[in-house]
Amino acid sequence: MVKEINEACTTLQQGGLILYPTDTVWGIGCDATDEAAVRKVFALKNREDSKALICLVANDAMLEKHVEHVPELAFDLIDLSTKPTTIVYDAPVGVAKNLIAPDNTLAIRVASDKFCRYLINKFKKPIVSTSANISGHPTPKTFAEISDRILKGVDYVVNLQPEHVNPVPSAIIKLGNDGTVKVIRE
């Protein structure tokens, strides 16, 4: 795992794209603070840049560094969730401008699997996490289902098996600073 973390980290530092196993499905990732790298993800996925991407952080401290105000409820949701849960926060800070949705929100998940946490801790910055598919096509459930276009479009493919057996996208919950809570995806 150390070799894979080092290779992926080097690729991210150089503004490249990685294909990696996440705590949900296989993901395309990049430095979440690098606008040019984020543009590459949108281009590879053939996705409008007005459609938001998810960002992964390693822990609560990194989350608090990249959100102006983390509602207390967020920590309860993170601690009590039985499956990976992405939370949409108001007023993100310190990330690429083209990663922030038009309503000034950002979807962030505290990574729960070992590889992602180790990688993000070594990289010391959040990374983008979006499913490894072309926009409009089904999310691949296994590595074998990932299209050649995606495989050839990234700069590094992490050679590790996911920790999970039945991959499913994360739940997505929007927490507004005004106290509103909205379930976007269960």
Q: Which domains does the chain have, with CATH numbers?
A: 2-185 (3.90.870.10)
Query: Which segments of the chain are extended strands (E)?
Result: 18-21, 26-29, 54-57, 85-90, 105-110, 127-131, 156-157, 171-175, 181-185
* Burial grade of 122 (CB within 10 A; 0-12, 13-18, 19 or more): middle
Which token pair is 76? 């309860």
Is the pLDDT at 160 greater than 80? The verdict is yes
Residue with tokens 């606008």: 35
According to the model, what pLDDT value does residue 103 have? Answer: 93
Q: Say what the pTM is.
A: 0.93
According to the model, what pLDDT value does residue 65 have? Answer: 97
Using an 8 Å Cβ cutoff, are 100 and 68 in contact?
A: no
Q: What is the mean pLDDT of the chain?
A: 92
Is the pLDDT at 185 greater than 90? The verdict is no
Q: What is the pLDDT of residues 6-64, one digit of tens each?
A: 999 999 999 999 999 998 889 999 999 999 999 999 999 998 776 789 999 999 999 99
- Positive or negative, the Cα torsion across 169, 17, 102, 113? positive
